[in-house]
Amino acid sequence: MSEISTRDAARDGSPRDAVRDSARDSAMSVAAISSERSESDDNVWTRRLVLFLRVMALLSILKGLYHWAQVTGFVGGEDEAFENQSMAWQAATVYFAVIELVAAVGLWLATPWGAVVWLTTVVSMAVIELMFPGIYGGSLIVVGVEVFMLAAYLALAWMAARERPP
């Protein structure tokens, strides 16, 4: 039998060959579906970390815009105007107006530099509140929120790092 006729016979083969081919095709598609599912289940902590970073990015945008509103005079009255505040308050407000928006961009993109800039803003706010209470009032609630966000980030980053192979 020639090679061409052998292929034709195999193609036009028995119903048993057709059943075997369809079983193989369905097994391959089930394997593909299950591998996609296990792949997505393996990265659950990474997805949670990215979601946390995006929420922190939105919060950073709001905080940055609030500081810019203070600088431009959209928030507060005559007594609370930017030019009537102390030099330390003005410097801190401009610093946070800029760095919060930069951190928001980096956090939204889930880049390493975004997390570093965001960590800088969190630590800076906590230090200003604790060490220089005359600038923003020294609120322990603000410090507590900042510490909680820092702890949540570190826990999520640690869990996400554990699910990736070395």
- Say what the pTM is: 0.72
pLDDT digits (tens, 9 = 90+) for 29-60: 544 444 454 455 678 999 999 999 999 999 99
SS3 sequence, the chain? Answer: CCHHHHHHHHHCCCHHHHHHHHHHHHHHHHHHHHHHHHHHHHCHHHHHHHHHHHHHHHHHHHHHHHHHHHHHCCCCCCCCCHHHCCHHHHHHHHHHHHHHHHHHHHHHCCCHHHHHHHHHHHHHHHHHHHHCHHHHCCCHHHHHHHHHHHHHHHHHHHHHHHCCCC
pLDDT at residue 21 greater than cutoff 60: yes
80 pLDDT band (50/70/90 cuts)? confident
Q: Comparing C-alpha atoms, which of 129, 127, 121 is closest to residue 149?
A: 121
